[in-house]
Amino acid sequence: MTGDDDPTVPIVCEECDTRTRVPLSELAGLLDRHNETRHDGAEVAGVEPELADRIADLAAEEMGLLDE
Ligand SMILES: [Zn+2]
């Protein structure tokens, strides 16, 4: 914890062999720009898959989809 209230999200680009963390508020813009400039708009870079799964789980929980 840094005391910064903008959470960071790990992103991965396997083609560039890049792993970095970006502020959540800039995530979409940074991914767009990376994919646009490096990969002709292909969605190569993205949120780290493990985290993306967790976010999906959390979102599902939030919506009550996992409530059986
Ligand atoms: Zn890339």
Nearest residue to 45 (alpha-carbon basis) of 8, 20, 67: 20
Question: Cβ atoms within 10 A of the Cβ of 51, count?
Answer: 14
How far apart are the CA of 50 and the centre of ligand 1, in A? 18
The reply to whether 1 falls in a domain is no
Q: Considering the domain boundaries, does residue 15 fall inside one?
A: yes
Share of the chain above pLDDT 70, in %: 90
Q: How far is the CA of 7 from the centre of ligand 1 (A)?
A: 22
Nearest 10 degrees: CA dihedral of 8, 52, 19, 44? -120
| pLDDT for the residue numbered 30 | 94
pLDDT, tens digit (0-9, with 9 covering 90-100), for 41-66: 999 999 998 888 887 888 888 888 76
- Per the structure, the complete domain to which residue 32 belongs is given by 8-62
Structure tokens at 28: 């979409």
Number of domains, the chain:
1
Token pair, residue 49, equals 């898959």
Domain contains 14: yes
Cα 19 to Cα 3: distance, rounded to the nearest angstrom: 23
Q: What separation in Å is there between the alpha carbon of 57 and the centre of ligand 1?
A: 26
Q: How far apart are CA 54 and CA 34, in angstroms?
A: 23
